[in-house]
Amino acid sequence: MDQIKSNPIVLLGVGNILLTDEGFGVHVVNQLREDYVFNPPITILDGGTMGMELLTYMRGMTKLLLVDAINGGDAPGTVYEFPHEEMNTYFTEAISVHEVGMQDILRIRALQEEPLEDAVVIGVEPESLELGLDLSETIQVVVKDVKERILAVLASWNVTATPVE
């Protein structure tokens, strides 16, 4: 818990890894955790389908980078990026099965602590929500782009990502 409190930057992947592309956020953040060392250290969370339990991991957080599958209505594989000022759009218009819970979590967190300094949502339009542990081919193609976007946001927050050898 102390380690989490000392890392005000949180990279959070959410989604159900049992439903192919719904698990996109979890797959991406887990790959980043394996492939990079971050300096200063950040908290990387596999939020899965957790609900209010996530509040425990958000104490002391000042910046949030949320990675998710997003039902925005565009073609499968479309990459979305919502900066802090557009997060309300994300929560009201781009809903999948767990965003309503995330909206509630962030509202409760805002009541408990200072407002976030910055927040970004990066996600992809899913192709498949069928049972399966792997991302669809369409979504696998955009994983590299999403990782680059995540690393760019982290760099803008003065976080250096060094590849693991």
- Is 27 a residue whose pLDDT tops 70? yes
- Is 62 a residue whose pLDDT tops 70? yes
Average pLDDT, integer, range 32-50: 92
- Is 162 a residue whose pLDDT tops 90? yes
Confidence of residue 112 (pLDDT cuts 50, 70, 90): confident
Please give the model's pTM, rounded to 2 decimal places.
0.87
* pLDDT at res. 101: 61
Instruction: Reply yes or no: is the peptide bond before residue 40 cis, omega within 30 of 0.
Output: yes
Residue ranges of alpha helices (H) inside 36-86 are 54-57
Q: Comparing 148 with 96, which gets the higher pLDDT?
A: 148
* pLDDT at res. 91: 60
- Is 141 a residue whose pLDDT tops 90? yes
Strand ranges in the chain using DSSP code E only, listed in sequence order = 9-14, 36-39, 43-48, 63-69, 79-82, 118-124, 160-163
Q: Which of 18-32, 75-89, 119-133 has the lowest mean pLDDT?
A: 75-89
